[in-house]
Structure 1
Amino acid sequence: MLVRRVSFAGLVTVSFLLMAALMAITLSPGGFGLLDIIIFVSFLVTLPWTIIGFWNATIGLLIMRFSRDPANYVCPINHGDDTAGTTSRTAILSCIRNEEVNRLEKNLSVMLEDLTTSAQANNFTLYVLSDSSDNVIAASERRMADRLRKIWGNQIPVIYRRRENNPGFKAGNIRDFCERWGGEHDFALVLDADSFMTADAILTLVRRMEANPKLGILQSLAVGLPSASAFARVFQFGMRLGMRSYTIGSAWWQGECGPYWGHNAVLRLEPFKQHCVLPDLPGKGPLAGPILSHDQVEAVLMRRAGYEVRVLPQEGGSYEENPPHLLEFIRRDLRWCQGNLQYRRLLTMKGLKPISRIQLALAMLMFLSSPAWLSFMISAAILGLTATDFAPFRPDTGLLIFVAIMTMVFAPKIATVLDILVRPSLRRQFGGGIRVVISTVCEVVYAAMMAPMMAVAHTLFMAGLAFGKTIGWGAQARGVARLPVGLAMRKLWPQTLFGVMGTAWVMTQPLSLVWPVLPITVGPLLAVPFAILLSTRFAGLLGTKSTLWRIPEESDPPEPLFMLDLPAFADAGNSRPEPVVAATASAAEAPT
């Protein structure tokens, strides 16, 4: 593992130095003024995430193409006996706050039924852990728990607990469980309200935990459920493309210092109780007090205690719902932003592994890159407009930087698309080669428009943190409903203003020079109609009927997904889509 990490660090370092040198050469005409320095420094801040993503994707693609079992190659742990029953006691933790109860009950019911059908139910207990502040919703939750207990209680006990005061947010919710019931169980399967896992996926994680006593956290690869939302449909198609190569590549060098995403993962309770108690950060303001982004901190604390944290980068059986519209997506991201910025006080924590410190720093840099990117774009535009007596940039190296950065940014998706296109059975599951290519091109434009919108949101929010602005922890929007025009305009006017500025700048430049960046510069001008249109039921139905942005669960749905009564299946015109019969990989298709 040391050789892998040194090799990866070498690749990242060399790439960083080459890109920095290219940018210095590009800015060299006319010497280095204040704007040049701002552009250069801002560019350097944005580089690490971009370069790491590129090398993760490149390594991931190589492993996908040349390993017969990529997931187990990068997660080389004992599988356990896939035919034997589990012997451990596992708590299923459904962590909720002011959620829509009917959808939650459907997810939990299907999971419990799937577990009982597998004949492995006796060692599981379901805990519905509520932090709901709404008394009406809490009453509905109790009735739901009573119904679940009446149906499944003889095989899987169902326990409902509500905290009327909820210090520590979700982490505090789980800590309360550990103090009350943690001693009664070996493992805990952590779920969010929108999580769904099949019995096979759950048992796969539990068996691996049983077979590896030093494994503290095992994270599954959660993918998006088929969605009736146009916004979520396009987003999760892009995520599905990017996650495979990226996660496999990152697992190759992170190894036993893997990530924990806070849900769809199994925890070993004894070390979790002892070693993963989160500190309350001292001081005042939004970055003090309980840690919002608890998951990665718990992962590094588990590693400090000598236990492994691994991700199993294997698609299938582990799902989540994605935000149905842009405003909810931004709200979720800002909560992560506030939580990740709290990590600055943890970087010097005693006993952390070097990789753990790097992970915390990168988690912060993921959001700090947004103001750096905006600073880069605005400064470059000003320099281009004000430098009248000399060319401010070298066009040859500037073009080379642009191509290199775009390649790096989209490398995870490109890598997975290449892998899909050369595998006939996988290509069919994504709707066929032509659909994959068209869907990918459209998703790239979608992502390019989203990037500046998110950068503006992150930057303004981080500026607000200095004045005490906070995001808190509230219920998430789940269903498909058209955003009100007034709300969209109130929330997205900064993005629109950025789009106005970008459009004004574009009009001063030759179209042949700026056309590649039109989605980035002009796209935010359409933030309000973009958000409203993709939130509508009509757009969602049109997306489903088009069969673009299809994911394998729509082509070949696992049986438990039928039982969820997902609106996306109904929109497709058939509640039980005919499965695509995936041909056995031919010798030509199989990796060598």
Structure 2
Amino acid sequence: MTVRGVISFAFPSRDKKSSRVSKHFPPQAITVPAAGNELFGRRLLFAVLFLSTMAGLLALAALALEPGGFGAVDIALLALFAVTLPWTVAGFWNAVIGLLIVRCCDDPVAAVMPMAALVGGDAQVTASTAILLCVRNEAPERMIRNLEPMLAGLDASGCGGRFSLYVLSDSGDAAIASSEEALFAELAARWRDRIAIIYRRRAVNTGYKAGNIRDFCERWGSSHDFALTLDADSLMTADAVLRLVRIMQANPRLGILQGLIVGLPSRSAFARIFQFGMRLGMRSYTLGSAWWQGDCGPYWGHNAVLRLAPFTEHCGLPVLSKDGADDRHILSHDQIEAVLMRAAGYEVRVLPREDLGWEENPPTLIEFVGRDLRWCQGNMQYRSFLTLPGLKPVSRYQLALAIMMFIGSPAWIGLLLLGTLAVAFSDTPANFIDAGPGMALFMCVLIMWFAPKIASAIEVLLDADLRRGFGSAGLFIVNLMIETLFSILLCPILWFGHTIFLVKSLFGREIGWNGQVRDGYAVPFTLALRHFWPHTLFGSAVLGLLLATQPGAIPVALFLAAGPALAVPFAMITASPRLGRLATRLGIGRLPEETVAPAMLSALAPPAAEAAAPVPRPISV
């Protein structure tokens, strides 16, 4: 049997007629036959692939470290390498599975979520949905600009009466709070008798965003069937909102439906290049993970629809205590709420379509690191839930993997430091590592590291419509090369930052939930140095030691040490407004929304989406 045959057996192609909802099946009556054995088989296959790949890579690493005997340093290196592997291996197999789905299935989305193909766009919307906009110290003008086109679309569809907008503010800045109150009052007046708009501000943001939504659930949750969660930078079309709501209506056991989120076109060079890579990494990865995770899908905290009754009943978050005294709340609430919803017997699924909504990414390395460290602190809090009774095995895996994503950072830094010292103080690198297995291991890890982006790049290059969306094959390949270099520099910078933060967290260092800077700005040398001097010192010390002792090892060390060593100029250059304007003109980091701008982006023309105009004379080959 061919590879296509194997994949088709797992999720056969759908007849076009079966992809349309029949008039004989109202939304509430649509069901998809249970496929518990099939889903178990998929998960078993993924587990076998995951564990066997981990074992194979560790065996190859042990073989590479064999010269000179296997001592304490080799054991330590092998242990550190093992810690780095789970996230990399999971990403590799998710990407491979996702690519096979795309190439072998007529409808990749239906292959991982059949309900999406059964629910038509003309299904009646009967549920009451609360749109929850959670904000903290953000510019209200920007949020209103993003909201009104969606509200207009809902009203034009004839479904506006089924929706209510709740602006849930936790803003502590008095000036911003005053502006919010005035501007959202004007918005409510404009939409009176069409869509209800309620503004509420808490004086203290107890429980952060999760506490904000919990307060809504306790006060108004019983008045609505569903809630659509939005962040301050979320942008969704009315069609996307209605699609998610219709699918929720059609499956009463669906507790959370997460929509795929992509980056909004940006004027920042840093954001443009990052979200080009994010777009590639998400395509195949999300499809592959959805194929085997099934009803234990992810929840990312926004651009998702929640079923309010079970969410209110089962997804309340406990307060974490520190030394039995100071109350601490869970910062990364979303995945905990997802596993609690699944434990209560409701499905959690992701709809892997790229037309469901946008978000703005941080415009500079400094802002990106700040957001990343909040995620790091939040994910570390998942330790308390790994042994929670009633969780599904897949849910425990998801929590463990979320922790390992950040625990892997000090492991990478430890590998670089310990490996550098071992090579530098050996008579010759050959006495420390066998070049043959060592290079094979290096190439395997490198390919697996970039696998999600490679898989999506293959998909784009094989599809004429996708190639045109990204500008042209030539422009896409140029951007792929730029993003690859960008990632090689960025990832070790983040790993070193995580390492410093995790060490500080042992002594009580914590981060709260504050408003984010969404507009780009120039990063001067002094500001970059203040943030990244430890990175520079570490990376330069590693490369300097190798230059003085074993210069032949520098090319391999650059993959982990170049980013920290160059963190200061990297932060400055990628934040340059001039470079951002040039990148926009040349199509660097170009997204499909910049080739053919969706009507919503064309109508808004927000600062972050001004790049949505077609780029003149794109690079081509």
Q: TM-score range by the shorter chain?
A: over 0.9
Report the counterpart of residue 560 of structure 1 in structure 2.
Answer: 600
Task: Give a deviation string over 1:123-148, Cα, whole Å, max 9, x none.
Answer: 00000000000111011111121121
Mapped to 2, the partners of 1:310 and 1:174 lie a distance apart of 20
Which is further off, 105-114 or 133-142? 105-114
In the alignment, structure 1 residue 12 sits paired with structure 2 residue 21: no
2:27 aligned with 1:2:
no
Aligned to 1:158: 197
Residue identity over aligned pairs, in percent, reads 50
1:270 paired with 2:309, answer yes
Go from structure 1 to structure 2 and tell me whether the alpha carbon gap of 1:571 and 1:425 turns closer, same or farther (over 3 Å shift): closer
| TM-superposition CA deviations, 1:27-61 (whole Å, max 9, x none) | 11111222212111000000111111000000000
By how many angstroms is 1:388 displaced?
A: 1.5
1:235 aligns with 2:274: yes
Pick closer, same or farther for the CA change 1:571–1:269 going to 2, 3 Å. closer
Q: 1:509 to 1:69 in 2, by over 3 A?
A: farther
Larger mean CA deviation between 243-252 and 514-523 belongs to: 514-523
Secondary structure of 2:164's match?
A: strand
3-state DSSP class of the match of 2:115? coil
Map of 1:30 onto structure 2? 68
- Is this contact kept in 2: 1:226–1:553, CA < 8 A? yes
Aligned runs of 1:48-197 on 2, under 5 Å? 48-77=86-115, 79-197=118-236
- Evaluate the alpha carbon distance shift between residue 350 and residue 17 of structure 1 in structure 2; reply closer, same or farther with a 3 A threshold: same
How far the C-alpha of 1:103 sits from its partner, in A, is: 1.1
Distance 1:570 1:242 in 2: 24
Structure 1 position 312 matched with structure 2 position 351: yes
Distance 1:515 1:286, change over 3 A: farther
Return the TM-score normalized by structure 1.
Answer: 0.94
SS at 2:198 equivalent? strand
Matched, 1:39 2:103: no
Give the aligned residue type for 2:333.
H
SS at match of 1:128: strand
> Cα RMSD (Å) of the superposition?
1.8
Determine helix, strand or coil for the equivalent of 1:154. coil
Per-residue CA distance 1:152-200 (angstroms, 9 max, x = gap): 2221111000000121000000000001100110000000000010011
**Cα distance change on mapping 1:531 and 1:409 into 2, 3 Å:** same
Distance 2:325 2:271 in 1: 29
Match of 1:588 in 2: none
**Counterpart-to-counterpart distance in 2, 1:302 and 1:501:** 48
* C-alpha distance in structure 2 between counterparts of 1:429 and 1:536, whole Å: 26
Task: Please say if residues 543 and 554 of structure 2, whose CA atoms lie closer than 8 Å, have aligned partners that are also in contact.
Answer: no
User: Retained in 2: the 8 A contact 1:557–1:577?
Assistant: no
The residue that corresponds to 2:9 in the other structure is none
Could you say if the C-alpha distance between residues 225 and 509 of structure 1 is closer, same or farther in structure 2, counting changes exceeding 3 Å? farther
Query: 1:361-440 residue pairs with structure 2 within 5 A?
Result: 361-388=400-427, 391-440=431-480
Aligned residue for 2:193, secondary structure, equals coil
Q: Which amino acid aligns with 1:261?
A: W
Give 2:175's aligned amino acid.
V
**Residue 306 of structure 2 corresponds to residue 244 of structure 1:** no
Contact 2:255–2:341 (8 Å) recurs in 1: yes
CA distance in 2, matches of 1:287, 1:459: 25
- Tell me which amino acid in the other structure corresponds to 2:94: N
Secondary structure, counterpart of 1:507 in structure 2: helix
Distance (whole Å) between structure 2 residues aligned to residue 344 and residue 492 of structure 1: 29
Report 1:139-538 matches (<5 A).
139-284=178-323, 289-388=328-427, 391-508=431-548, 514-538=554-578
Maintained 8 Å contact 1:287/1:341: no
Distance 1:343 1:553 in 2: 36
Amino acid at match of 1:397: P
Higher mean C-alpha displacement, 362-371 vs 532-541: 532-541
Asked if structure 1 preserves the Cα contact closer than 8 Å seen for 2:164 and 2:195, the reply is yes
Indicate if the aligned counterparts of 2:266 and 2:611 stay in contact, CA closer than 8 A.
no
Q: Quote the Cα distance in structure 1 between the aligned partners of 2:393 and 2:227.
A: 27
Q: TM-score of the superposition, structure 2-length normalised? A: 0.90
Deviations 1:235-269 (A, max 9, x none): 00000001000000000110000000000000000
The Cα of 1:105 is off from its aligned counterpart by 1.5
User: 1:409 and 1:90 mapped to 2: Cα distance?
Assistant: 40
Structure 2, unaligned stretches of length 5 or more?
Answer: 1-38
Note the alpha carbon deviations across 1:361-399, whole angstroms, 9 max, x for none. Answer: 111000000001111111111110112176100000000
Greater mean deviation of Cα atoms: 230-239 or 24-33: 24-33
Q: Which amino acid aligns with 2:308?
A: L
Aligned equivalent of 2:584: 544
Q: Distance in 2 between matches of 1:488 and 1:470?
A: 22
Aligned partners of 1:287 and 1:342 also within 8 Å: no
Name whichever of 317-326 and 123-132 sits farther off.
317-326
Code of the aligned partner of 2:605:
D
C-alpha separation in 2, matches of 1:161 and 1:430: 41
Counterpart of 1:113, as a letter, is A
Could you tell me which amino acid in structure 2 is paired with residue 297 of structure 1?
I
In the alignment, structure 1 segments of 5+ residues that lack a partner are: 581-592
Q: What is the Cα deviation at residue 487 of structure 1? A: 2.2
CA distance in 1, matches of 2:519, 2:323: 36
Q: 1:278 to 1:196 in 2, by over 3 A?
A: same
**Alpha-carbon separation, structure 2, partners of 1:428 and 1:287:** 55
AA aligned to 2:42 is: R
Count of residues paired in the alignment: 577
